[in-house]
Chains A and B, each alone.
Chain A
């Protein structure tokens, strides 16, 4: 029976190395499970971290997704870049999260480092209105062409639930 052994120390070593390389940029490191880590960074530092990971593991890492969460009560968006590294004993999912001000949501694109981020960035633009600077084609992808400008459906202050008409 092939038991999947996991040496947690390798995962921890990688995260320690990442945290020591970007001492002034990493705010906190949280382990959710031995294979998943949540790294909070300062705003606009995402490019350096993703570049570091992609250059360290060019043949064993990829971008899983870019997500946004609308914390309307704090007045900010949290953008999360999920990266996967599978290299020898390292089996690690990194969630690199940063806060962006809700009234001025502008971040630099990562499409020059990871070309596969094109669609994720377009999705976050049309659903949350986050503007990814220097993106090659920041156009609508999912929503119809007739969708009104300036309404970003996944924001918390936008309600898309239709009210039932009063019958009597």
Chain B
């Protein structure tokens, strides 16, 4: 910030065309370089934590599912875990394996969605089309398993709502290895293709110590060689019986964060195939009590990182307090640090690499250094003034 008069505040957001979660970022830019970032959230704040206190758990699980549409399974799973711990009930082992299967299918769908969007952000539309074509395989399997394409509603308190059929097991075993081969091919493309590497390698670097200070979670942290995965250090459901590797990259840039996701897709397919082979027989649900006293802490590794639901019940049919922590919220301080020192043109890729959403520019704040006043100029005015044809 040598020359204050050249510092421009560029407002990105809150409206955006691509994904969920509107966020606003005010970029302080000097020329083309980002100097500082100020985030502002809350455009879709729905008061779910307060609303949870007025609902019984049979209703509230559907509310929990709608916290995030894309990683809905992580939220129901985490909610279910919390309630089950508070009520002191044990889920049957077949339900645990079915939960793992739907959780990993959801992870594949979410990661492929992001990788496609990221490819589109970089202008690599062929890769976007190819990845989204293969995402349909997973979507169809999810539809066959749960009856719904996206919001699955499979996980309920005490177990799962549907059982898996033998035909579907055969179908999954037939189609998932096919997806595995294709994702491997995309991994090779992402490692070698200059269209992808030129936009991501050495862009948005964050070191390991900085990442831990700022509390980044999930693939964002694992891209900076932080080997933290809830499935590994605090295993839930059947993860303590299933072998898997935690994907970690040491580079700490946007490329590493994308590659963590590609590796996790491959790992998720292996987990599903292992779970299908070792699926135990038995019941799929137990009936939970309506009112109880206790405390539950359900912690789950969602596609974007760690989600937890913390619930406190005091003997009534409704919780005393229900707390939800979502992964993108934890990653916001980290992404604000990643932006600093990079070009404005890299902002979409850096933001995309933590897996939220890129917003379109809506208006400009021009900061007058002498008076310190901010003047709002609408976007149409700039376009009219500077984009003369």
Q: How many residues of A contact B (CB 8 A)?
A: 38
**B312 in the interface (beta carbon within 8 A):** yes
Closest residue of chain A to B323, judged by CB? A67
Q: Is the CB of A64 within 8 A of B325?
A: yes
Q: Is the CB of A65 within 8 A of B308?
A: yes
Q: Is B173 an interface residue (CB 8 A)?
A: no
Q: A115-B213, A142-B41, A142-B45 are in contact. Are A67 and B310 (CB under 8 A)?
A: yes
Determine if A69 is an interface residue (Cβ-Cβ < 8 Å): yes
Are B240 and A93 in touch, CB under 8 angstroms? Answer: no
Q: How far is the CB of A64 from chain B (nearest CB, A)?
A: 7
List chain B residues, Cβ under 8 A from A140.
42
The contact of B333 among A59, A86, A118, by CB within 8 Å, is A118
Cα-based distance from A84 to B297 in the complex (angstroms) = 14
Asked if A58 is an interface residue, CB under 8 A from chain B, the answer is yes
How many A-B Cβ pairs are below 8 Å?
A: 86
| Complex CA–CA separation, A144 to B208 (angstroms) | 34
Q: Are B333 and A116 in contact (CB under 8 A)?
A: yes
Asked whether, in the complex, the Cβ of B243 is within 8 Å of the Cβ of A143, the reply is no
Q: Are A142 and B321 in contact (CB under 8 A)?
A: no
Answer yes or no: B182 CB below 8 A from chain A CBs.
no
Tell me the B240-267 residues at the A interface (CB within 8 Å): 240-241, 243
B333 touches A153 (CB 8 A): no
Q: How far is the CB of B36 from chain A (nearest CB, A)?
A: 12
Shortest CB-to-CB span from A70 to chain B, Å, is: 7
B312 nearest in chain A by CB position: A69
- Which residues on B sit within 8 Å (CB–CB) of A32? 295, 297
CB distance A84 to B213 under 8 Å? no
Question: What is the distance, in angstroms, from A56's C-beta to the closest C-beta of chain B?
Answer: 13
Q: How many residues of B contact A (CB 8 A)?
A: 40
Contact across chains for A116 and B214 when beta carbons are under 8 A apart: yes
Q: Given the known A-B contacts A69-B321, A86-B233, A115-B333, are A143 and B42 also in contact in the complex, defined by CB atoms under 8 Å?
A: yes
Task: Check A114–B329 contact: CB distance below 8 A.
Answer: no
Does A141 have its Cβ within 8 Å of any Cβ on chain B?
A: yes
Report the Cα distance A70→B212, complex, angstroms: 29
Among B215, B216, B308, residue most surrounded by chain A Cβ atoms (within 10 Å): B215
Q: Mark B299-338, 1 if CB is under 8 A from A, else 0.
A: 1000000101010100000001101010001101110000
User: Which residues does B use to contact A, with CB under 8 Å?
Assistant: 40-42, 45, 47, 49-50, 54, 208-209, 212-216, 227-228, 232-235, 240-241, 243, 295, 297, 299, 306, 308, 310, 312, 320-321, 323, 325, 329-330, 332-334
Q: Would you list 24 pairs from A and B whose C-beta atoms are within 8 A, ordered by A residue? A: A2-B243, A4-B232, A58-B212, A59-B208, A62-B213, A62-B228, A65-B308, A65-B323, A65-B330, A69-B312, A69-B320, A70-B321, A86-B227, A86-B228, A91-B233, A93-B234, A115-B214, A116-B330, A127-B49, A141-B42, A142-B41, A143-B45, A160-B47, A161-B54
